């Protein structure tokens, strides 16, 4: 099965396109949506509010954002959650959902390279 990414704004479209997929919403401030068994909320896998705000405000460049976010993802709880997602991906297509494309792509890259 595959691990993919999508913007939160396309969640409903992806749910319809791939009804057997599992969706992991990796955001701290999750907008309202219709909850179902396909969707899991994983705010711990999103950049911290401080990091996301500093990046959004231009207080750090993309390289600094990636390095800091990568370090946040090294926490034991993040590592265990990512291993769980990888395990689920053996049986289902997985979508990483976030409004921040840079965060989605980095998390996707880490998941594809985790041992």
Domain locations along the chain: 3-113
Separation between Cα atoms, residue 4 and residue 65, nearest integer Å: 21
Three-point CA angle 100, 101, 106, nearest 5°: 105
Q: E strands along 2-115, which residues?
A: 3-6, 22-25, 39-41, 94-97
- Quick: pLDDT tens for 24-44: 999 988 887 778 889 999 999
Q: Is the pLDDT of residue 115 over 70?
A: no
- Quick: pLDDT tens for 65-100: 999 999 999 999 999 999 999 999 999 999 999 999
C-alpha separations of 20 from 16, 42, 81, 86, 112 in Å: 9, 19, 20, 16, 20
Indicate the pTM of the whole model: 0.89
- With beta carbons less than 8 A apart as the criterion, state whether 101 and 9 touch: no
Strand arrangement of the beta sheet that strand 3-6 belongs to: 3-6, 94-97, 22-25, 39-41
**Averaged pLDDT, 105-113:** 91
């Amino acid at each position: 099965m595959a691990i993919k990414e999508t913007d939160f704004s396309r969640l409903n479209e992806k749910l319809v396109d791939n009804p057997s997929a599992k969706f992991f919403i990796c955001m701290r401030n999750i907008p309202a949506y219709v909850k179902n068994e396909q969707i899991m909320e994983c705010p711990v896998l999103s950049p911290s509010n401080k990091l996301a705000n500093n990046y959004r405000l231009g207080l750090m460049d993309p390289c600094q954002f990636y390095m800091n976010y990568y370090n946040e993802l090294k926490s034991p709880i993040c590592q265990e959650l990512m291993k769980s997602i990888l395990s689920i991906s053996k049986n289902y297509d997985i979508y990483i959902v976030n409004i921040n494309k840079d965060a989605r792509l980095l998390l996707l890259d880490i998941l594809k390279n985790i041992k």
